[in-house]
Amino acid sequence: MSISKALVAALMLLLVPFVAGADCLVDQQQTSWNSTSGGFRWQSFTAGDDGFLCQVDVNTADALTDVSIEIYQGEGTLGALLHTQVVDLPVDVASIVIDAPVTVAAAMTYTIHFPSILTWRLRTGNPYPGGVGSINPDVDYWFRTYVVPSGPVSTERGSWGALKAVYR
């Protein structure tokens, strides 16, 4: 097998959770708000499970098109850029399906960043202790993250040895 075919095969294995329709489960969230803030904003979060970030929901007061969303490693935008994609945001809740796998590890910090000006709904009083909003450590923006868990997989075989079920 040539190197390019081997590379394509390896990349396809990374995409299996998305292609196979694996469960994209809520991992972290802060879904209350009492104010808004406009500008270039970010919200950090601490992953609760090992796996692949598959969706991010945000709640904005603006309807915007061609807005970039970025996912960084660590708190803020000084860490490694793990993912970027262009999306359209409706007013209120936008569900952004991540178009390429972003590996996350439990107890590690990541950041959702919008490098465009938008008005993102927020809650004061530090309601999400696993991260902070860009404007103030006492503020958390409205967000929800989803992860396809990469936990151990076990299988069940029938009496003839055929694969009967796969459990995560």
pLDDT in tens for each of the 168 residues of the chain? 555 544 434 444 454 444 345 799 999 999 999 999 999 999 999 999 999 999 999 999 999 999 999 999 999 999 999 999 999 999 999 999 999 989 999 999 999 999 998 999 999 999 999 999 999 999 999 999 999 999 664 556 666 665 544 444
In a domain, 155, yes or no: no
In the prediction, which pLDDT does 17 show?
41
pLDDT of 10:
46
CATH classification of the domain holding 125: 2.60.120
Predicted confidence at residue 5, as pLDDT, reads 47
Q: Residue 8 domain-assigned?
A: no
- Say what the pLDDT of residue 101 is: 85
Question: Is there a contact between 144 and 26 (Cβ–Cβ < 8 Å)?
Answer: yes
Kindly state whether residue 141 falls inside one of the protein's structural domains. Answer: yes
Q: Which amino acid is at 20?
A: A
Query: How many domains in the chain?
Result: 1
Residue 12 lies in a domain: no
Q: What is the pLDDT of residue 166?
A: 47
Q: Which two tokens stand for residue 82?
A: 């793990």
Residue with tokens 């000084």: 78
92 falls within a domain: yes
* Domain residue limits at 59: 26-149
CA angle at 137 for the pair 106 and 51, rounded to the nearest 5°: 15
Residue 165 lies in a domain: no
Q: Classify residue 139: in a domain, yes or no.
A: yes
pLDDT for residue 98: 98
User: Is residue 11 in some structural domain?
Assistant: no
- Burial label, 18 (beta-carbon count in 10 A; 0-12, 13-18, 19+): middle
What residue type is 79 in one-letter code? G
Q: How far is the C-alpha of 17 from the C-alpha of 102, rounded, in Å?
A: 11
